[in-house]
Structure 1
Amino acid sequence: MTSSSDHANATASVSAVLVLRSDPDTDPEREEHLVRRLRSEINQLDIESIVPVAAGELPQGAKGVDPVTLGALLVAFSASGGVFTTLIGGVQNWLDRQTGRHRIAVTIDGDTIELERASATQQRELLDAFIQRHSSR
């Protein structure tokens, strides 16, 4: 028999802020296009919602965003079922397909990791540590 608190924990939602820090040579129109493509790809994953946010609207603890940031997205997803791992993998796959030196900062509960193209070993070590910290909810 499961209690209502067990059910609530099983369906708990987590929010992450994703901030695209585009290549310095990217013009604002191109950056906006990149953010729309990233949002579209993430929206294909098993997430609850994804919305663009202005720097002044970011949740408390979402550090590393300045007022001129164009590419901030607030993503809500289930804390269970491996959705977080899928989200991080999707972001990394998107970055790997880009030609510019773009980075994406991912912040959960004030903890930020900045993803960029790196060797497979470097990526795996960083991602494993970050995912482990936020998957034990």
Structure 2
Amino acid sequence: MAVAGTPVELVLETGDGDGDREYAEEQLQYLLDELSQLELASIDRAPSPLPPPPGTRNAGAWELGALVIGLGGSGALLPVLVGCVQDWLNRRRSGTIRMKIGDDEIELTAVSDEMRQRALEEFLRRHGE
């Protein structure tokens, strides 16, 4: 199934729990700058999510921001987008980006292992030409 016209949602999360909104915005801007170098049809910011309330089970990780990416007429840019995001995470050495297409979602982290690579390849296969 091709991604044609289907938006790709990227949700950037942090695991450090420091709650520094300025830092979060800075990191999201760095990612936006890199994504703008790709030939994507569109990059839009989703409304800013709120961190989980204090005392919640996963209060150490909260969403930094969300982007909605338009790939254009074909899914050929999906592997390029994934490569850019994975490279950005690896250089940053922390955080997580959830990539979602419709109801299908994969979580990308700076950790690269064989199992995660297979999951990523399967995700790309499902949304390839």
Q: Under a length normalisation based on structure 1, what TM-score does the superposition of the two structures give?
A: 0.74
Q: CA deviation at 1:130?
A: 0.4
- Secondary structure in 1 aligned to 2:71? strand
Q: CA deviation at 1:123?
A: 3.7
Unpaired runs of at least 5, structure 2: 52-62
Identify the match of residue 71 of structure 1 among 65, 68, 85: 65
The one-letter code sitting in structure 2 at the alignment partner of 1:73 is: L
User: 1 CA distance for matches of 2:36 and 2:115?
Assistant: 26
* Structure label with greater radius of gyration: 1
- Secondary structure in 2 aligned to 1:51? strand
RMSD over aligned CA atoms reads 2.2
Identify the match of residue 90 of structure 1 among 70, 84, 90: 84
Unpaired runs of at least 5, structure 1: 1-9, 56-65
Percent identical among aligned pairs is 33
Residue 128 of structure 1 corresponds to 121
Residue 47 of structure 1 corresponds to 40
User: 1 CA distance for matches of 2:46 and 2:75?
Assistant: 26
User: 2 CA distance for matches of 1:126 and 1:86?
Assistant: 16
Greater RCO structure (CA 8 Å; 6+ sep): 2
Superposed CA offset, 1:18-58 (max 9, x none): 00001324421111100011011111112011011116xxx
- Secondary structure in 2 aligned to 1:78? coil
Greater mean alpha carbon deviation, residues 44-53 or residues 79-88: 79-88
CA change 1:81–1:103 in 2 (3 A) is closer
1:79–1:135: 8 Å Cα contact kept in structure 2?
no
1:17–1:75: 8 Å Cα contact kept in structure 2?
yes
Higher helix share: 1
Residue 63 of structure 1 corresponds to none
User: 2 CA distance for matches of 1:96 and 1:70?
Assistant: 17
User: 2 CA distance for matches of 1:70 and 1:22?
Assistant: 7
Q: Under a length normalisation based on structure 2, what TM-score does the superposition of the two structures give?
A: 0.78
Q: How many residues align?
A: 116
